[in-house]
């Protein structure tokens, strides 16, 4: 089974991408041969009221529960984020938390992050930290958003060792991952989403040599990126078929079944 851990529904505000709805994303999944996708709401990143984006997403996911797995975006700048997260889990069966500290402008070192880590442990939810949605060099000048510091991400991983983290990112993500591995080298409680790993030419092989295949997850960041780019990179890499199966779905399946336990 092929599971994409990093897809989005909703509107990309900077250009029409043509793929915004659940049906659009399902069509992209079918084209790329993806069985299930973790989806989060782009509207939750950009709306004034991020909760509205999560509710839209959760309603849609109810119709496609066999294929779309909802993660709720949490904005720690909103006082009652905990109530909202509870509602998303209790009412809609949300399977994880997605953080965009870059757009939402909060620090991962805040007290609220500590409370979120505790809440996520209680609810058995992985926390996905997306350090950037897009290579900063392509941000329009009127909306330049510096990506989340990987040092903060490493600090969070080191601090909350009982939590499960997934990390995805933007500009030169392979280099960023190398920094992360250096600063959080003692911990195994984090996974890397593959969507930002666009290079070097042998980056998948090199990363597997370093961390093994159990901690890399197939992610696409569709519709912002082409889903096939990340999938083909894994499928055509010089690693074993067993490793490919793990990355493309088995690892994610394991994380989600752990959650269900």
Partner 1 sequence: MIIDIHVHIPYRGLEDVEVGWREKFERMLIAAQKAGIERQVILGLSSNNEFIRELVDKHRDKLIGFVRGCCTDPNAPVIVERFVKEYGFRGVKIHAEPNWPLSGLLSAHAIFLKAAELNVPVVIHSWHDEEGLTHEARTLIIQEGFSFPVRIIAELGRRYPDTKFVFAHMGGMWAKALNAARPYPNIYFDTSGFDPERGIIESAVEMIGADRILFGSDAPGRSYISQLAKVKYADIGESDKRKILGENALKLLKEVS
Return the residue of 64, 78, 183, 226 that touches partner 1, per CB under 8 A. Answer: 226
Decide if residue 212 touches partner 1 (CB under 8 A).
no
Minimum distance, C-beta of residue 225 to partner 1, in the bound complex (Å): 5
**Sheet architecture: strand order including 165-168:** 3-9, 36-41, 68-73, 96-99, 127-130, 165-168, 190-193, 216-217
For residue 163, what is the DSSP state?
S
Among 83, 146, 210, 242, binds partner 1 (CB under 8 A): 146
Residue (37 or 88) nearer to partner 1, CB: 37
Q: 234: part of which helix (H) or strand (E)?
A: helix 227-235
For residues 91 and 199, give the distance between their C-alpha atoms in angstroms, rounded to a whole number: 40
As a whole number of angstroms, the distance between CA 39 and CA 57 comes to: 8
Is 152 among the residues that bind partner 1 (CB under 8 A)?
A: no
In the complex, what is the shortest distance from the CB of residue 67 to partner 1, in angstroms, rounded to a whole number? 20
Asked whether position 15 contacts partner 1 by CB under 8 A, the answer is yes
Query: Is 13 a binder of partner 1 (CB under 8 A)?
Result: no
How far lies 251's CA from each of 2, 115, 216, 230, 256, in Å?
Answer: 10, 27, 8, 16, 9
133, burial (CB in 10 Å: exposed 0-12, middle 13-18, buried 19+): buried
Structure tokens at 96: 């994880």
Q: Does 139 bind partner 1 (CB under 8 A)?
A: yes
Stretch that binds partner 1, among 14-22, 74-82, 90-98, 180-188 (CB under 8 A): 14-22
Identify which of residues 83 and 202 has a Cβ nearer to partner 1 in the complex. Answer: 202
Counting contacts by CB under 8 A, is residue 30 touching partner 1?
Answer: no
Residues in contact with partner 1 by the rule CB under 8 A: 15-19, 31, 134-139, 141-142, 144, 146, 170-171, 196-203, 222-230, 232-233, 236
């Amino acid at each position: 089974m092929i599971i994409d851990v990093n897809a989005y529904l909703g509107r990309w505000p900077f250009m029409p991408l043509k793929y915004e709805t659940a049906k659009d994303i399902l069509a992209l999944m079918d084209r790329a041969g993806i069985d299930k996708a973790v989806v989060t709401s782009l509207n939750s990143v950009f709306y004034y009221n991020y909760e509205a984006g999560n509710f839209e997403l959760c309603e849609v996911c109810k119709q496609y529960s066999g294929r779309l797995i909802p993660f709720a975006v949490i904005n720690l700048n909103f006082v009652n984020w905990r109530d909202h997260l509870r509602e998303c889990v209790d009412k809609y069966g949300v399977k994880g938390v997605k953080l965009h500290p870059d757009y939402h402008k909060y620090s991962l070192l805040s007290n609220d992050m500590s409370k979120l880590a505790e809440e996520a442990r209680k609810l058995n939810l992985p926390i996905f930290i997306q350090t950037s949605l897009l290579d900063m060099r392509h941000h329009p000048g009127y909306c330049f958003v510096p990506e989340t510091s990987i040092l903060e991400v490493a600090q969070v991983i080191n601090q909350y060792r009982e939590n499960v983290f997934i990390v995805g990112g933007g500009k030169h993500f392979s280099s960023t991952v190398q920094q992360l591995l250096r600063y959080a080298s003692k911990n195994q409680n984090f996974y890397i989403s593959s969507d930002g790993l666009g290079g070097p030419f042998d980056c998948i092989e090199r990363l597997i040599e370093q961390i093994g295949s159990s901690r890399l997850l197939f992610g696409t960041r569709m519709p912002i990126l082409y889903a096939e780019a990340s999938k083909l990179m894994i499928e055509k890499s010089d690693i074993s078929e067993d490793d490919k199966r793990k990355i493309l779905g088995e690892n994610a399946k394991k994380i989600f079944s752990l959650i269900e336990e």
